[in-house]
Structure 1
Amino acid sequence: MTRHAQSERRLLADELERLGPDAPTINEGWQAKELAAHLVLRETRPDLIAGAFVPLLSGRLDRAMAQTASGDWRTLVQKVRSGPPSWNPMSFAAVDEKANLTEFFVHLEDLRRAQPDWQPRDLPGDKEEALWGQLKAAGRLVLRKAPTGVVLVADGLGRHAAKGPGERGTVVLRGEVGELVMAVFGRERVADVVIEGDPVDVAAFRSADLGG
């Protein structure tokens, strides 16, 4: 099988190595070292990741993040590059592809798009198709906080009703699939997408905290 997640991992590790630990990201409060620490803990300390969702456990995660981010930079980047330990199911190719393709794509763009000289990537067609498949599968969950219905239209790939109408009407997001991924995962401000719909609904969608 094609390992798109692995290619995104390598590209991200290369970019981390090139830019250094203090490079900005588009994630508030995170430099490159915090981004790398997040990825390493996600694969090596799943017991801590609950702290991202459970306030009572957030202190443990914050301390681990700070400790990991302050370690040797070359070692940290190598851990990102080398991937999860053998006991982690994500070390298996099929699980890795499902769990990590979108994760690493989004975080690579988090880093790239914070740099003043960044340029859009021309993604291979098979990677676009893989991202589109994952976006369609995850869209309903990721968009659960959206106050509107959401229809995604990916250039050259098709149309998908990701979420039915909520408190308001439905908006349509159009763009290349990578841009749709960024918008759906809470990065609409740096995503090149067109959002169509009633202006009130569009404003409501844009103001929602989608997270991701």
Structure 2
Amino acid sequence: MGARELPVDERERLELCGLLAETGPDAPTLCEGWTTLDLAAHLVLREHFSRWDDERLAGEKAKGLPALIGRLRAGAPAVPWRIPGLRTLLNGAEFLIHHEDVRRANGMEPRTGRPDLDALAWRTVRLSGWQAARKIRPHGLELRVPGGPTRRFGADGGAVLTGPPVELLLYLSGRREAARVEVAGDPGAVAALDAS
């Protein structure tokens, strides 16, 4: 099976592993205070343990980046991470966002020509947009893709975020400085969104 035939979450996992190996353990990420080593340890722990503390995180980091990359490349445990349908929901956005955390923190441009990533991000912003809209009530929130779909949450006339799906996802997941989106709309709604 070629790389393009793999499910999008698996492609993102493998591409992120390649990027982690390329950048090394001390490269920055968009996750405040985390290097690529911290991020790799987080991803391993997330799939193999329901809870962990700083000691367990330090233990994983002590294994070194190559070992963590090897564990990530081996794939996630079968349940629930590899169940068809659930796998993309559980891991797709996680790997997409963290892939961009490494790319953007290291001066790399957004990836283009990846409709698989756009589709994954657009599915994911349905939930994250709803969560963001709840935080800015009574204002509404509208997400717009230039030349593409629009999704509205809550009241009309609220804040409007415009950008490609991956950029909208990054903005809604807290990577506002790195996300290439335009924020417009009702000033009160925009202020509420900025404060959320």
For the superposition of Structure 1 and Structure 2, which TM-score range results when normalised by the shorter chain?
0.7 to 0.9
Count matched residues. Answer: 190
Q: Does the aligned pair in 2 maintain the 1:129–1:157 contact within 8 Å?
A: no
Q: Is the Cα–Cα contact under 8 Å of residues 142 and 185 in structure 1 kept in the other structure?
A: no
SS at match of 1:151: strand
AA partner of residue 92 (structure 2): L
| Structure 2 unaligned blocks of 5 or more | none
Q: Report sequence identity in percent.
A: 34
1:155–1:177 Cα contact (<8 Å) kept: no
What's the counterpart of residue 112 of structure 1? 103
* Alpha-carbon spacing, 1:143–1:123, altered in 2? closer, same or farther (3 Å): farther
State which of 70, 79, 100 in structure 2 corresponds to 1:78: 70
SS at 1:196 equivalent:
strand
Whether the aligned pair in 2 keeps the contact of 1:33 and 1:70 (CA below 8 Å) is no
Helix, strand or coil for the counterpart of 1:93? coil
Query: 2:115 matched to which residue of 1?
Result: 125
Of 29, 33, 36 in structure 2, the residue corresponding to residue 29 of structure 1 is 33
Question: Normalized against structure 2, the TM-score is what?
Answer: 0.87
Correspondence for 2:166: 178
Structure 1 residue 70, shift from structure 2 partner: 2.2
3-state SS of 2:159 partner? strand
Matched, 1:159 2:159: no
Inter-partner Cα distance in structure 1 for 2:58 and 2:97:
22
Q: Classify the secondary structure of the residue corresponding to 1:172.
A: strand
Matches within 5 A, 1:61-72: 61-72=53-64
> How far off is 1:122 after superposition?
0.5
1:135 aligns with 2:125: yes
- Partners of 1:5 and 1:143 lie apart in 2 by 27
Closer, same or farther: CA 202–38 of 1 in aligned 2, 3 Å: same
Displacement of 1:200: 3.8
Structure 1 position 201, deviation (Å): 2.8
